[in-house]
Amino acid sequence: MRAAILALLLMAAPAWAATEPDEVLADPALEARARQLGTELRCVVCAGESIESSSAGVARDLRLLVRERLVAGDTDDEALDYVVARYGEGVLLRPRFGGHTLALWLMPAGLLVLGGVGAATALRRRGRGTGRALSAEEAEEVERLR
């Protein structure tokens, strides 16, 4: 049963990659790098999808371009830079860390710290109580309830 599920999953694998058979490089190592890079590049007409999972014409062209660069001897970063030089940083699905993306990268950690400080202050204040002794009336009431 488990083997059958695994076999089905393996057969379904190409369903979430749009790479067509005629695009695949002969060298499996280069092809694996090309697919990895393909998942990091945004399809310029579908925006939410990577070029690896899009069947749009320009996504196919970009997949072929990435493969062409890798065959020409580019490193992964050089191949990404090549595409960024033509389409801008918006094509990267993982934005680069830099001055212009500082808010984007640091905001979650910043908010966590801010929230943590707020929560800690509130909890400490609550734990401390009012710091005032009971009045005579209040003491009487406590006695009565006992």
- Residue ranges binding another protein (CB under 8 A): 44-45, 47, 57-58, 61-62, 64-65, 84-91
Q: Is 50 helix (H, G, I), strand (E, B) or coil?
A: strand
Q: Do residues 83 and 65 lie in contact, with contact meaning Cβ atoms separated by under 8 Å?
A: yes
Q: Which is nearer to another protein, 28 or 129 (CB)?
A: 129
Angle at 48 between CA 44 and CA 52, to 5 degrees: 70
Q: Which is nearer to another protein, 14 or 90 (CB)?
A: 90
Q: How far is the CB of 85 from another protein (least distance, A)?
A: 6
Q: How far is the CB of 10 from another protein (least distance, A)?
A: 32
Q: How far is the CB of 61 from another protein (least distance, A)?
A: 5
Strand partners, 142: none
Alpha-carbon distance of 117 to 133, in angstroms, equals: 29
